[in-house]
A = this chain, B = another copy of it.
């Protein structure tokens, strides 16, 4: 993690502002020979694309991604892959208000304090638009995983909106693609629709919890003690705009468990691999994957750009009120789902390469 770069061997640098000519991701260290074309990345970008329903910003961006380098005749060459998405719907509106006032809960004030200047157009670099670049890079990671570890499956979904939690007993993964919230609990999704409509109409917004699960992850990915798989996952998820908490497995609730409860007991599976009675560990022990599902959750705070007036100050230091008009998501958590998936894909691939580098990917056999 080096300012705008993420990853050890599979390294992603995102660049670009909300209202500049373009944004994108520079992907370095991708394995050679991976089948890759723009349509494969577009598939993932379309899931995150704004303006798809009334719960996401009405900005109209095709988010068409172009591969400018690193691919020859449909295969990665092992050299840097440049992914570019042009911005097309930067409305020629007046940004004077945002340029002069700091939105509470927004990066406006800290960018000003750090850099002394900022690009106020649509939030500039701090806009959630930056996450489009991550989704594109995540598409590259998925393509590489398809070649190197085809059994890996990554699925993200919302498990909570505001105080309303989905019920795990009702989870049906087939439902995830059937509602605008990527929620595996259809009943909860129906309730959320009403709740969010109400919030949106009242000029308010709301937070959410997203869970991302990776199954088929081989045992042995990760490393002590700062290169832990969960360390990198925590960093990856916390780096997403508006995220304020990250959990692995039992997460914060692990504090409530006793050692007896927390122990995921181990048995031998019929396939000669260890089998566990439970997964409080979220698939990671000592920073290294166990072969169980890797489970990460993160909380997304409510959009700070709201229609309800809030107290703030101006660049000149005067007290003021601000209302943020414009096209904002009432629940940014929704569009964080594909972003979380992308980060998971990048981290898993990166650790797969890192492990292959150090150990050759040879697993210590049991039995």
Can you give 6 A-B contacts (C-beta < 8 A)? A3-B225, A13-B13, A20-B68, A77-B124, A225-B241, A262-B304
- Do B364 and A117 touch (CB < 8 A)? yes
How many angstroms from the CA of A95 to the CA of B354 in the assembled complex?
A: 31
How many angstroms from the CA of A354 to the CA of B356 in the assembled complex?
A: 9
| Count of chain copies | 4
Q: Mark A309-349, 1 if CB is under 8 A from B, else 0.
A: 01111011111000000000000010000000000000000
Contact partner of A109 among B21, B70, B253, B285, CB < 8 A?
Answer: B285
Q: Nearest chain-B residue to A69 (Cβ)?
A: B16
A78 → chain B closest CB, angstroms = 4
- Do B228 and A238 touch (CB < 8 A)? yes
Q: Nearest chain-B residue to A249 (Cβ)?
A: B244
Q: Which residues of chain B come closer than 8 Å to A110, judged between CB atoms?
A: 219-220, 222, 284-290
Contact partner of A303 among B105, B259, B365, CB < 8 A?
Answer: B259
With known contacts A114-B363, A304-B263, A235–B245 Cβ distance under 8 A: no
A53 at the interface (CB under 8 A from B): no
Q: Which stretch, A4-12, A43-51, A180-188, touches the partner chain B?
A: A4-12
How many angstroms from the CA of A260 to the CA of B238 in the assembled complex?
A: 22
Contact partner of A260 among B21, B204, B260, B362, CB < 8 A?
Answer: B204
A32 at the interface (CB under 8 A from B): yes
- Do B117 and A75 touch (CB < 8 A)? yes
- Do B245 and A248 touch (CB < 8 A)? yes
Q: Which residues of chain B come closer than 8 Å to A227, judged between CB atoms?
A: 1-4
Q: Nearest chain-B residue to A8 (Cβ)?
A: B2
A265 at the interface (CB under 8 A from B): yes
With known contacts A22-B82, A113-B219, A224-B126, A238–B231 Cβ distance under 8 A: yes
- Do B288 and A107 touch (CB < 8 A)? yes
Q: Which residues of chain B come closer than 8 Å to A178, judged between CB atoms?
A: none
A250 at the interface (CB under 8 A from B): yes
- Do B16 and A28 touch (CB < 8 A)? no
Q: Nearest chain-B residue to A199 (Cβ)?
A: B258
Sample of 8 more A-B contacts, CB < 8 Å, known A72-B117, A234-B235:
A9-B9, A15-B70, A15-B79, A79-B124, A109-B290, A110-B290, A234-B234, A241-B286
- Do A105 and B264 touch (CB < 8 A)? yes
Q: Which 6 A-B residue pairings sit nearest by Cβ, starting from the closest?
A: A317-B367, A107-B286, A357-B357, A205-B259, A110-B288, A116-B364
Q: Nearest chain-B residue to A116 (Cβ)?
A: B364
